Copies of this chain bind each other. A is one copy, B any other.
Amino acid sequence: MNSPVSLFSTLPTPAIILDRQRLEANCARMARRAADAGVRLRPHLKTAKSAEVARIATAGQFGGITVSTIAELAYFFEAGFRDITYAVGIAPSKLTAIEAYIARGARISIVLDSVRAAEAIAGHAGAPLSVLIEIDCGGHRAGVAAGSDALIAIAKRIADAPGLHLEGVLTHAGHSYHAASEAARAQIAIAERDAAVLAAERIRAAGMTCDTVSIGSTPTALTDVPLDGVTEIRPGVYVFFDLSQARLGVCNVDDIAVSVLATVIGHHREAGHMLVDAGALAISKDVSANEHDPHIGYGLVCDIDGRPIDGLYVADVHQEHGFVRSTHGTPPFERFPVGSQLRILPNHACMTVAPYREYHVLDTASDALTKWSKTYGW
> Which B residue's beta carbon lies closest to that of A120?
B339
Q: Are A266 and B339 in contact (CB under 8 A)?
A: no
Note all chain B residues with C-beta closer than 8 A to A113: 266
Say yes or no for A63: interface residue by CB 8 A criterion.
Answer: no
Q: How large is the interface on A (under 10, 10 to 19, 20 to 34, 35 or more residues)?
A: 35 or more
Given contacts A114-B267, A117-B266, contact A319 B93 (CB under 8 A): no
Of B351, B376, B378, which is within 8 A of A285 by CB?
Answer: B351
Say yes or no for A10: interface residue by CB 8 A criterion.
Answer: yes
Note all chain B residues with C-beta closer than 8 A to A68: 319-320
Report Cα–Cα, A339/B120, bound state, in Å.
8
Q: Are A275 and B89 in contact (CB under 8 A)?
A: yes
Note all chain B residues with C-beta closer than 8 A to A280: 286, 351
Say yes or no for A225: interface residue by CB 8 A criterion.
Answer: no
> Quick one: copies of this chain in the complex?
2
Q: Are B281 and A354 in contact (CB under 8 A)?
A: yes
Report Cα–Cα, A281/B355, bound state, in Å.
9
Q: Are A277 and B355 in contact (CB under 8 A)?
A: no
Say yes or no for A337: interface residue by CB 8 A criterion.
Answer: yes
> Which B residue's beta carbon lies closest to that of A8?
B93
Note all chain B residues with C-beta closer than 8 A to A271: 140-141
Given contacts A377-B356, A378-B356, contact A142 B12 (CB under 8 A): no
Nearest Cβ in chain B — how far from A347, in angstroms? 10
Nearest Cβ in chain B — how far from A42, in angstroms? 17
Q: Are A141 and B318 in contact (CB under 8 A)?
A: yes
Given contacts A271-B140, A285-B284, A285-B285, contact A265 B89 (CB under 8 A): yes
> Which B residue's beta carbon lies closest to that of A121?
B339
Q: Are A376 and B355 in contact (CB under 8 A)?
A: yes
Of B92, B141, B338, B356, which is within 8 A of A339 by CB?
Answer: B92
Report Cα–Cα, A306/B281, bound state, in Å.
26
Given contacts A93-B10, A114-B266, A377-B376, contact A174 B351 (CB under 8 A): no
Q: Which residues of A contact B (CB under 8 A)?
A: 9-15, 46, 68-70, 88-94, 97, 112-114, 116-117, 120, 134, 136, 140-143, 174, 263-268, 270-271, 275, 277, 280-282, 284-286, 318-321, 323, 337-339, 350-351, 354-357, 376-378
